[in-house]
Amino acid sequence: MQPAMKKANPTLIALVLGVLVLLGIWVYRTFSKPELHGTVVQAMPTIPDIELTDTSGKPHSLHHDPGVKLVFFGFTRCPDICPATMSILKRAYENAGSPKNVKVYLVSVDPETDTPAVLKKYVEYFQKDFIGLTGEGDQIAQLANAFYVGFQENPDGMVTHTDTVAVLDEQNRMRLIYNQEKLGQGLLDQDLPALSRGL
């Protein structure tokens, strides 16, 4: 005579299924890549190792610093877009907890005016952790070209320039670009905590 089969406990089955569902959610959230809102740079070009001059007057390349980098080309006399963008970068950086593995750069497109001392005062007004870079015109033009950034001085002395923020990964490859529309919508603010964990 066959022994009687025990009936499965419905409560136990429900409990086990619940635990498995919660485990699946945790694994997905922990290991899946979050959706980022910047425009993806498909070519992922590696930015060249070009030495400019930092606000202490010392040679400084983007390659000197580890981690993820946010790079904006602008100038201290800029009346609107530059201070607005620097304010957005400050807000995003501080809201993300000022992550140590994220560096934020302002590269001057007006090196004749933006001496290291002028740039230092400007950058530190927004955030003391931010890095200002200036240098010779041809060096800046070479670096700007690698970022697909254009700039030119107008007859009135102001400089017209591309106003995007580029994101470099740990290998100095350009991975994302945030235009002014995305910056204004707070999408960099949303993405920076995830970006700070690496690309």
Topology classification of domain 39-195: Glutaredoxin (3.40.30)
Closest to 45 (Cα-Cα) out of 165, 172, 142: 172
The sheet carrying 52-54 orders its strands as 39-40, 174-178, 165-168, 68-74, 102-108, 131-134, 52-54, 59-60
Any binding-site annotation on 82?
yes
**Domain extents for the chain?**
39-195
Q: What is the model's pLDDT at position 28?
A: 44
Tokens of 9: 């406990």
Q: What is the largest CA-CA distance in the chain?
A: 103
CA distance 172 to 50: 12
The amino acid occupying position 130 is: F
Please tell me the distance from the alpha carbon of residue 65 to that of residue 162, in angstroms, as a whole number: 24
Residue-wise pLDDT for 156-195, tens only, equals 889 999 999 999 999 999 999 999 999 999 999 999 999 9
Residue 37 known to bind ligand: no
Whole-prediction pTM value? 0.83
How many percent of the chain have pLDDT more than 90?
A: 79
Distance between CA atoms of residues 55 and 166, nearest Å? 21
Q: Is there a binding annotation on residue 60?
A: no
Higher local confidence (pLDDT), 7 or 39: 39
Q: Enumerate the H helices of the chain as residue ranges.
A: 10-31, 81-95, 116-126, 137-146, 180-184, 187-195
